[in-house]
Structure 1
Amino acid sequence: MSSSNSLPSDLEGQVKFLKGNVTGLLKEVGMATVTSTDPDFAAKAGKIQGVSAVIRDAEIQWLNPDNEKTFDAAALNVNPASSGDSEPYFFLQWGHTAIQAPAAWNAGARGKGVKVAVLDTGFFLDHPDLKSNIASSASFVPGEPAQFKSIPNVRTSSHGSHVAGTIAAADNGLGVIGVAPDAQLILVKVLRDSGSGSFSWMMQGILHAVAEGADVINMSLGAGLPRNGKFLDENGNMINDTKAVQELLNAISRVTTYATQQGVTVISSAGNDGNNGNKDQSLVYIPASAPNVISISSTAPTGWFNNPLTTNLDGVASYTNFGTPAVSFAAPGGDFSYPTNELSSLGIPVWALDMVLSTGTERGYNWNAGTSMASPHAAGVAALIIGQNGGSMDPKKVEAALRASADDLGKPGRDPYYGHGRVNAYKAVSAIQ
């Protein structure tokens, strides 16, 4: 990382002289990715004029799809009640009801002309509910294309596709509908399909999204970094380097700040560790805690399908991270805490119907729960706001619109669970008009 937002002259030549190899240039923020087999390379490279820090590119598990609670909806074939929408599964999307998305659509807000970048695992690029809204796709994971690779009996659902569908599944009479059904998707693979990845892939993905003209970036991913600098590397070795962690945070901050300066609203999931950020501050969650990032906690009903008209849709999800100022807003993320395995009248477990239904399988749908599902609800609302504003919009104004329109739940004012409140699509777009 350079001492400014520009790289030293002839950096590649100087790195090569030190027996290193430049693998990527993040010129917009004065950073580069480098590999070397020399154990002393970092110390040597740190002496290059204009270089302020040489940071280890840690690789971690940002999310674990194998541990997710999922339920496949491929066999479900029911027609909607009088929802006013032609999507067959729309009546199961309780999250849209919670944030008043249908009322926002009826007011003319659909996200048209807005581009939302999804930084995630791989995607089902030919999914019938997604492909018409995909503007572009790219991968920053070496050796893995943007297309998700199903592995029978191991991994057949795509976290990235599920997230993308919540934001902008098309209004096409198939399956589900996104919060912003007319928005365009920039799909950026920054994690392996297994959920692991390096910090540099995420940072490259952010810069790519900016270059592609994204109005919103959604990152349904996260990791807790120890503030004291003690952590295990990918080989299981204990690392004790407070400065290294701080420099890594500085690098990420530079990238998220750049994105915001370029007019991009950056939104991230708050995390699923049930961490109370007010009491336990041993970890800093990235990217949720990075500067200019809007962090989203998760809400959910309990037993919604049994009483769809009266069940509270805004309960605090059992797993969500919380704390002030760790949480900016709340949004529907679903839960699996319903206490029994009873089946609904659809033949689907009641607990599964409390989760979020989206485009997670190759040509079908599944339910997932997590702040990963809450963040795209908020990103979709941001897209509706920007669309109603006529296009590009200052991220601070987008956040202000979210704040002014959010439903103030929990304790009055900003609270640890809901932040400034649970996002409300209809109120948000009504304020813009």
Structure 2
Amino acid sequence: MKRLSLPAVAAIAAFGLLGCADENPVAPESAPSFVPQASVSVDAASLDRHLVLFNGRGVPESFAADVAGLGGSVVYSHASGIAFVSGLSEPAAADLAKRSGVAEVMADEAVELLPVNGVQVEAADATPASPATPSLAFFYPRQWHLRAVGANQAWAAGRRGSSAVTVAILDTGIDYLLPDLVGRVDLSRSASFVPNDDLLVQANFPGRHPVTDLHYHGTHVAATVTSNALVAAGVTSGVTLIGVKVLGANGSSFAGSVIAGVLFAVDNGADVINMSLGGGFSKAGNGRSVGFINRVFNEANREEVTVVVAAGNESADLNRNGNTFKSYCDAPNVICVSATGPTSRASLIGPWANIDAFAAYSNFGSAIGVAAPGGNTGGSVIAGCAKTSLTFRICATGNFVLNSNGTSMASPHVAALAALLVEDGLKPSQIRARIRQSADDLGAPGTDPYYGSGRINIPQALGL
């Protein structure tokens, strides 16, 4: 399981990937040469980044000049009254905080992830299939998680997703040339908020878009939302994706990158945002930090964007967080997703036992909106492996999938359902309500801390 190794966090949320693995890694046998991943590290010079919160909406006209006069530059600013700056010393940041219209200036925090415990990599002898027939995907017979939520029933009814609906994947990027994702990613609306990673992309894959996934996590999440269904099927096969890279090849970045990524997705036409990442920070003395996050997620809701977030993999009771703000389940107007999965299987293609069992690693509590398949001891979530991954370099040599467990894998199932409901004309509040009302009630009757309103049921949500 991935866990965060965090520096002291005094302000905004610490975060990282929420994927959790259940198998031993397959040793790479033959793979192309890459610039070493070790060259990707948190640049100490980048730690002079600051987040700025203004009084009310808008950014003062003199702000960029004020920052430049103090020796810094504006990295990103947004009409909601938020900006990110770099190059300021602490005294300069303190001076900026005194300027007219500025409510708060906070140091942006860097985070690191502990090493991956293991993800199973498997090759496919894939033959061309069609997005119109996802059940023909090579690995579909093993994708218990798609049948668990009734995705196959939606396909049979012609509900495979619309290219007019956009899901933003806030993650490590997307391998947009992966066969399962070719044509699904709108690069004109995709972006990277991890400058160090951009350099590494160009060193290893000259000419590729900065959103290229050098990790693997973002591609796996993206291909769960939608897939061309050559190697593995996704919940949909017609939805448009935009990649918003907020975490780098080593799983590191800044909290400000995540916030900027949310606002970018909102401004670039995302209907749904998936956030398979998270962390937490102390509320004590950080009331403005909570307000900062709340402002961002309220902005998304105001612009009619549905946000789906992973609950986390610490087996933690979110009701006993004490003074901790759980990002991003504690943010307003989000769907917080816990994980389920089978406890055993008779063979690789089933049958699977206790397919809706609550996953022991999943966080739980009253913040949980619904549950979805994330994998368990009897089966993992299967989706494509990025050919650009510096973690699993063998994936560059053919068509591979990753078997992975985690609430990171559960969240994109819900994001895909939200996309189908956008197609039906529902607004975010209606989507949140429909997903909960149509879920299969599991665990204790009614809403409970493990499943929330229940495990999602796609055909029921779509009225099929």
Question: Normalization by structure 1: what TM-score?
Answer: 0.83
376, 381, 385: which one aligns with 2:412: 376
Cα distance in 2 between the residues matched to 1:34 and 1:156: 26
291, 297, 300: which one aligns with 1:259: 300
* Equivalent AA in structure 2 for residue 257 of structure 1: N
Match of 2:433 in 1: 400
Cα distance in 2 between the residues matched to 1:314 and 1:146: 43
Aligned length: 386
212, 223, 232: which one aligns with 1:165: 223
Match of 2:337 in 1: 296
365, 385, 388: which one aligns with 2:401: 365
Cα distance in 1 between the residues matched to 2:458 and 2:199: 30
User: For the Cα contact (< 8 Å) 1:333–1:369, is it kept in 2?
Assistant: yes
Report how far residue 428 of structure 1 moved. Answer: 0.5
105, 122, 135: which one aligns with 1:73: 122
Question: Where in structure 2 are the equivalents of 1:1-400 lying within 5 Å?
Answer: 1-26=53-78, 28-61=79-112, 66-74=115-123, 85-112=135-162, 113-136=164-187, 137-145=190-198, 158-171=216-229, 174-228=230-284, 242-243=285-286, 246-306=287-347, 308-309=350-351, 311-324=353-366, 326-335=367-376, 337=377, 354-362=379-387, 363-387=399-423, 389-390=424-425, 393-400=426-433
User: For the Cα contact (< 8 Å) 1:124–1:161, is it kept in 2?
Assistant: yes
Q: Please, which runs of 5 or more residues in structure 1 have no aligned partner?
A: 229-241, 338-350
User: For the Cα contact (< 8 Å) 1:356–1:368, is it kept in 2?
Assistant: yes
* Equivalent AA in structure 2 for residue 382 of structure 1: A
User: For the Cα contact (< 8 Å) 2:124–2:401, is it kept in 1?
Assistant: no
Which moved further from structure 2: 128-137 or 181-190?
A: 128-137
User: For the Cα contact (< 8 Å) 1:118–1:185, is it kept in 2?
Assistant: yes
397, 422, 425: which one aligns with 2:455: 422
Alpha-carbon displacement from aligned partner over 1:280-323 (angstroms, at most 9, x marks no partner): 43422212221111110111111234483451211111211101
User: For the Cα contact (< 8 Å) 2:344–2:352, is it kept in 1?
Assistant: no
Report how far residue 156 of structure 1 moved. Answer: 7.5
1:377–1:261: structure 2 CA closer, same or farther, 3 Å change rule? same
* Equivalent AA in structure 1 for residue 276 of structure 2: S
Alpha-carbon displacement from aligned partner over 1:383-416 (angstroms, at most 9, x marks no partner): 12222x15xx310011111011101111111111
Match of 1:232 in 2: none
User: For the Cα contact (< 8 Å) 2:160–2:236, is it kept in 1?
Assistant: yes
1:212–1:422: structure 2 CA closer, same or farther, 3 Å change rule? same
Q: Please, which runs of 5 or more residues in structure 2 have no aligned partner?
A: 1-52, 205-212, 388-398
* Equivalent AA in structure 2 for residue 403 of structure 1: R
Report how far residue 115 of structure 1 moved. Answer: 0.7
Other structure's SS at 2:231 match = coil
Cα distance in 2 between the residues matched to 1:92 and 1:106: 18
* Equivalent AA in structure 2 for residue 50 of structure 1: G
Report how far residue 123 of structure 1 moved. Answer: 2.1
User: For the Cα contact (< 8 Å) 2:235–2:416, is it kept in 1?
Assistant: yes
Other structure's SS at 2:317 match = coil
Cα distance in 1 between the residues matched to 2:148 and 2:444: 19
Cα distance in 1 between the residues matched to 2:158 and 2:319: 40
